[in-house]
Amino acid sequence: MAAMSEDEKDFLELSKMGKGSDQHCCVPNCNSNGRRHQVSFHRFPQVGARRNSWIQAIRRDPGPLFNINAYTFVCSLHFIREDFKWTPVTKTLKADAVPTVFSRTRDFTPRRELFKHITTNKKPKLQSENETLLDSISEEVNQEEDIQESEEQLRNPRFSNDDAMIMFYIGFSTYALFLAFFDYVQPATNSMTSYYYKATGTINLSVSRQRTMVLIDELFMFLCRLKCGLFEQDLACRFNVHVSTVSRKLITWSNFLYFVLDSINIWPTRKQIQNKMPQVFKTLYPTTRVIIDCTEIPTERPSSLALNSKCYSTYQSTHTFKSLVGIVPHGALIFISSLYTGSMSDVEITKLCGLVEL
């Protein structure tokens, strides 16, 4: 490339997390290689006019030396920034994108790939019988690769090397921590039922609707909502999806995480608490087990009159829900009660929430 624009630099920066692989770019004079270069690779469109426009764009004639298959890729250097759909976590190639960026004059090192193609084309006739079989196998491999590819997309995040941004948007101290959390909840996501199906009462698991977002993006979006309280419309713009999709995904994730994380026991033993206790507590209140307080969350005014009066908190002079939380001396949150209506007293909630029985 003659001169690298800011965007392209940015672009390479983003792809840093991509794992090395044997993929290489089929564009003449481009020697992008998955092992050595930090670019993403994109398969040819399956059929139709778009496939032809790709072939025309890269100026290579399909034939014995150039056989387009599942392992033929065009690297991201040949697309402009607008060809991709960007979210804070991933980038995906848009359905109508066609490669347009080519450097016809660049010096290039000899391509070993070309040599490989020539030799493989000289195979004996016997092998051709197996080709149909191989084709059907490569179909499956293809699908598997699609999955791998989407997983690799996750590792191409915009904020991956900026822990401050990660902290700001989702409240995780590092990106690695966020990935670890994602890896922890991911196995359970197979059983995650979309809120949409639940609402319509027609849960049909055999109908697999194409996901509009990558799973890790969904989680990232959900955490943005929790941490920054962004409006759904705002998230819809940022993540390039419809606002109703945002709403459904947020509800789905909040239900899902409620069930997954609820099963974790966060109540520590007395010994654990004592080990971590700050010195001040050790001298003044050595037997402290938990520090409790009620917190109130403002809510909209309920339309039901009965609920209206129940939710009204005289202390806050507004409608609230109330929850009892408990922390240990070193600051970790170890108890969160269910939500109660704002008119209930702290004493009542303490009795009801089940803390006493623990």
- Residue closer to Zn ion by CB (options 30, 154) is 30
Q: How does DSSP assign 124-150, residue by residue?
A: -HHHHHHHHHHHHHHHHHHHHHHHHHH
d(CA 134, CA 52): 25
Which positions ≥6 away from 311 have C-beta within 8 Å? 299, 301, 302, 319, 320, 321, 341, 342, 343
Q: What is the DSSP letter of 25?
A: B
H helix intervals, the chain: 6-14, 48-58, 112-121, 125-154, 163-170, 175-185, 195-200, 215-228, 232-239, 243-262, 270-276, 279-284, 305-311, 346-352
- Residue closer to Zn ion by CB (options 77, 216) is 77
Q: Minimum CB separation from Zn ion for residue 25, in Å?
A: 3
- Residue closer to Zn ion by CB (options 32, 245) is 32
Contact status: 25 vs Zn ion (CB under 5 A): yes
Q: Minimum CB separation from Zn ion for residue 92, in Å?
A: 18
Q: Which residues of 270-288 are buried (b: 16+ CB within 10 A; e: fewer)?
A: eeebbeebeeebeeeeeee
- Residue closer to Zn ion by CB (options 75, 89) is 75
**Candidate segments 26-34, 200-208, 218-226, 275-283, binder of Zn ion by CB under 5 A:** 26-34
Residue type at 207 in one-letter notation: V
CA atoms within 13 A on the CB side of 118: 5
- Residue closer to Zn ion by CB (options 76, 323) is 76
Q: Minimum CB separation from Zn ion for residue 220, in Å?
A: 29
Q: Which helix (H) or strand (E) holds 320?
A: strand 318-327
Q: Minimum CB separation from Zn ion for residue 26, in Å?
A: 8
- CA dist 238 → 212, 215, 306, 314 (Å): 14, 16, 40, 39
Q: Minimum CB separation from Zn ion for residue 39, in Å?
A: 7
Contact status: 235 vs Zn ion (CB under 5 A): no
Residue 291 pairs in a beta bridge with 327
Of 11, 18, 30, 91, which one interacts with Zn ion (CB under 5 A)? 30
Binders of Zn ion among residues 252 to 291 (CB under 5 A) are none
Q: What is the DSSP letter of 93?
A: E
**Candidate segments 18-26, 110-118, 292-300, 321-329, binder of Zn ion by CB under 5 A:** 18-26
- Residue closer to Zn ion by CB (options 32, 337) is 32
d(CA 12, CA 68): 26
Contact status: 32 vs Zn ion (CB under 5 A): yes
Q: Minimum CB separation from Zn ion for residue 108, in Å?
A: 11
Q: Minimum CB separation from Zn ion for residue 27, in Å?
A: 4
- Residue closer to Zn ion by CB (options 14, 27) is 27
Per-residue mark of binding to Zn ion, 65-84 (x: CB under 5 A): ----------x-x-------
Q: Minimum CB separation from Zn ion for residue 154, in Å?
A: 22
Write out the residues near Zn ion by the rule CB under 5 A: 25, 27, 30, 32, 75, 77
